[in-house]
Chains A and B, each alone.
Chain A
């Protein structure tokens, strides 16, 4: 069994440690070996402290021996996007500017996972300051897709997607401002939850856009994702935008199925630019849900979806520029060129446009909710309009159509950030080139449990999530 520990799911490992069939030390040692041997080819890992990880694992085993399980993730090794502060440890943010930054506080999401018993054994590579969709990082290096290392991982949670898909680690946190959890999940064939804006505290997380930033888990299965999400969701007074709404029990109805669930299928906008190969796989996933008892409902989404895409760009650029303005002046040469150019574009956006984008959020959300959730419980849409391109063809310097490409990549993701709604990405098959793709389920505000239930029903009927990548 020890040779295959890395192939177990997070839920399986957590249950085995809790039940005494495996020790945290065994699992963590295997994860460290995996990160050291298979990790370099994917360039997913920024830093790891193996000694500290083993010390924490042995402490977890000692606690268990005393009958003191901390929580449902007791002793499970995880690793996260390098943008979540932990007091006394470097948080590099995929950058040269923050390469030596040692925070004095710990992010609320890490505190939540600590309280659930998880171990935090490595920092994972990411797009510089989380501002990019392809995964390219000219400062700390570009992670590689475990299904084909010539291709991108998607960004900005690039290392998280590659590490989880490559069976280097059981689960990882990512962040999503315009698609940064969903792109890596789609490109790498793993599951990601972009939660309702305000559901997960951003305290202690590197900010990019306060209006849009969300934090969520990236895992191999929906069940794993629900387990991690439970540990990080909830009110936090240190994040003034944090919702006070009670958090649902994500496991309660996880296996209840989708009989009677109304799934909205858009007749406009979302499929407009989607490649036929991607569209075929995404539509095939609808058949699986229908066979499981879901009711498919055709809906027309408001024309403002295109504007929502535009305004997500506008809000991110403006708020990102405001955060980075000082460094843009004092550390100009320390930025990667792509990150710097995109941040600087935000300096030119008029304040009036920014305020319009903020104020129009409410009427556009109300219009969307009426059109979609007036008829259905969840919306089913693609994540990406194409398969993952190669690293070479999606390089900003080599591709004159780069801006068009990244705009198209966000066609189905950015509007959801603007609306603030939760979205679960679920892999649904492989394209002709052997790379995975995925669909996303979008729910009402705070309907994460319903999305997990639907995603679980899909994975119970399919086995895409069990496929192994190269050297997996």
Chain B
């Protein structure tokens, strides 16, 4: 990644990898990038499994259960 050409090549490969892992639709990869940019302030969220269990619990009917 010494110059812009290398960087563009790397980015193209990066995009292709993401698309290949997904719906094989280049628009999806671009949309994901846009979403990540939009959500940057919130990406400090704790993405751990434990945090997600708590989030699910908070969204259940009647709210979180007592533990």
Contact = CB atoms under 8 A, between A and B. Distances in A.
Given A241-B50, A307-B28, A349 B60 contact: no
B31 A349 contact: no
Nearest to B61: A444
Nearest to B55: A362
B45 to A, nearest CB: 5
A313 interface: yes
A198 B53 contact: yes
B53 A241 contact: yes
Nearest to A314: B21
A357 to B, nearest CB: 9
A310 B14 CA distance: 15
Interface in A324-373: 345-346, 348-350, 353, 355-356, 358-363, 365-366, 369, 373
A211 B53 CA distance: 11
B60 A444 contact: yes
Interface string B39-67: 10011010101111101110111000101
A454 interface: no
Interface in A442-456: 444-447, 450
Contacts of A369: 59
A404 B24 contact: yes
Contacts of B17: 348-350, 353
A57 to B, nearest CB: 38
A244 interface: yes
Given A356-B36, A356-B43, A360-B39, A310 B22 contact: yes
B12 interface: no
A394 interface: no
Given A348-B17, A362-B51, A444-B61, A307 B35 contact: yes
Nearest to A312: B22
Given A306-B28, A346-B21, A362 B49 contact: no
B56 A243 contact: yes
Interface in A419-472: 420, 444-447, 450
A388 interface: no
Contacts of A311: 22, 32
Interface of A: 196-198, 210-211, 240-246, 304, 306-307, 309-311, 313-314, 317-318, 345-346, 348-350, 353, 355-356, 358-363, 365-366, 369, 373, 403-404, 407, 420, 444-447, 450
Interface of B: 14, 17-18, 20-24, 28, 31-32, 35-36, 39, 42-43, 45, 47, 49-53, 55-57, 59-61, 65, 67
Given A361-B52, A407-B23, 15 more contacts: A240-B50, A243-B57, A244-B67, A304-B35, A307-B32, A314-B21, A314-B22, A348-B17, A350-B14, A362-B51, A362-B52, A363-B39, A366-B55, A369-B59, A445-B57
9 contacts: A245-B65, A306-B31, A317-B21, A353-B17, A362-B45, A362-B47, A365-B55, A444-B60, A450-B61
